[in-house]
Amino acid sequence: MVAKEEEEVEAEWISGDELELFEGKSNWVDASKHGCLSKLLSAAEFGNADFCSEALRDIEDEFVNAKGDDGDTSLHLACLYGHVDVVKVLLSDERVDVNARDDDDGTSLADASASGFHEIVALLLAKKGIEVNLKDSDGETALDCAIRGEHEKCVELLKAAGGKEGEL
């Protein structure tokens, strides 16, 4: 699926039966109660804010920021695919770590910046505790990602929040 800049990506939500098939294809075991982690990650990836909210209500604290088998948290996935409503739901839960790192040390802010999702970048920057200049394993910051993608609105927002380029 290719995301378009500044548009929320629309994806058809998967049904319960399809979710079971999706979970069955995973190489990891969901240790959360009633498979809530799989539900949370799926809801974030496919853009279902209501299902995301439901999964957050049921999930144990220790799994809120857990990574799926692709190394991304639910916030990473929502930011990567441009699901603004899901990002809002996730950010409303105080347990969600806005600075969580993926397997390459990337952040949700960098994911949104790289894709040009300026509304999501603004939401993340407004979140208390956001660290604007975290570097990934390649030494890149969210600002580097926005510059590389030529996403001017994201660049402006990041610079206004104190964003700096990494040392590449």
Please state the domain extents for the chain.
14-97, 99-168
**If DSSP codes are grouped into helix, strand and coil, which group holds residue 104?**
coil
- For tokens 């600002």, name the residue: 143
**pLDDT tier at 129, thresholds 50, 70, 90:** very high
CA 110, 115, 116, 117 dihedral sign is negative
Instruction: Specify the pLDDT at position 16.
Output: 47
CATH class for the domain made up of 14-97 = mainly alpha
> How confident is the model over 55-74, as pLDDT tens digits?
898 888 888 998 887 789 99
CATH architecture of structural domain 99-168: Alpha Horseshoe (1.25)
Same fold? 14-97, 99-168: yes
Residues 6+ apart with CB under 8 A from 69: 26, 27, 28
Has this prediction a pTM greater than 0.95?
no
